[in-house]
Structure 1
């Protein structure tokens, strides 16, 4: 069974990009990781039909909010992301489209958009953020468990 995640990277990602699991580019997760029997092309087709991704899509503008600690042990440093509600609306439309296509999702009811602090970068409170790409990332690519591959990406207009 395939396993994917939908993200809004802070840098442009394109189809075919890959990276080590430990070196994720900074991003906001739009839809949490999910297993599916659908193939990458089928999931990409669903995402490409979502208003705000595939058709006349616009970049999302946000800013860094307060720092927080996430994870089971509250030991993962993040910066919350603050916007005008566009992230939640896009998330809702994307989840609805995937569920309509038969993907079983378990979205977090307490979803709080954030960017995880990494050794290679972070978002600080007050930083302006432009989310100009939606990317579908394969969490189980042929390269193995320590790799991630972008299987589809949609640049968002300004």
Structure 2
């Protein structure tokens, strides 16, 4: 069954971009990984109809906050991200749009926007970022389990 995630990358991504799990571009997760009974193009069509993604979207201005450790074992280093509430609002609209289309998305009640520190980069507390792209990522592309593919991307520029 197809599996997807919706992210706001810190670098522009476009439809068709591919990368390995180890080389995930720095990003803020908007909708955690979810399974769907439909193809990526249909999920993209649903998201394109969400206010703030497919139309009327404005970039999210955010600031890097405290560093923390996430993950089941508390061994994933992250930097928390703070904004004026746009991330939560966009997340809510995206999740409601997917749910209304019959896609089962399971919201984390303890959702805290963050950027995972990677070997190729990280946010430093106090860094200011502009999140101006929403990307739908295929977590199980034909290329294999260690790859990811951008199904669709929308620029936020209203």
TM-score by length of structure 2 reads: 0.98
| 2:44 matches 1:44 | yes
Residue 57 of structure 1 is matched in structure 2 by 57
Q: How far apart, CA to CA, are the structure 1 residues paired with 2:148 and 2:99?
A: 23
Displacement, 1:116?
0.3
CA displacement, residues 79-112 of structure 1 (integer Å, 9 cap, x when unaligned) = 0000000000000000000000000111100000
Unaligned runs of 5+ in 2: none
1:135 aligns with: 135
Deviation at 1:22, TM superposition (A): 1.1
**5+ long unaligned stretches in structure 1:** none
Please list every run of at least 4 consecutive aligned residues from structure 1 whose deviation after the TM superposition is greater than 6 angstroms: none
Q: CA deviation at 1:40?
A: 0.8
Matches within 5 A, 1:4-153: 4-153=4-153
Cα separation, 2, equivalents of 1:39 and 1:28: 23
Distance 1:98 1:71 in 2: 25
| Deviation, structure 1 residue 128 | 0.3
- Please state how far the C-alpha of 1:56 moved relative to its aligned partner: 1.9
Q: What SS is found at the alignment partner of 1:12?
A: coil
RMSD after superposition: 0.7
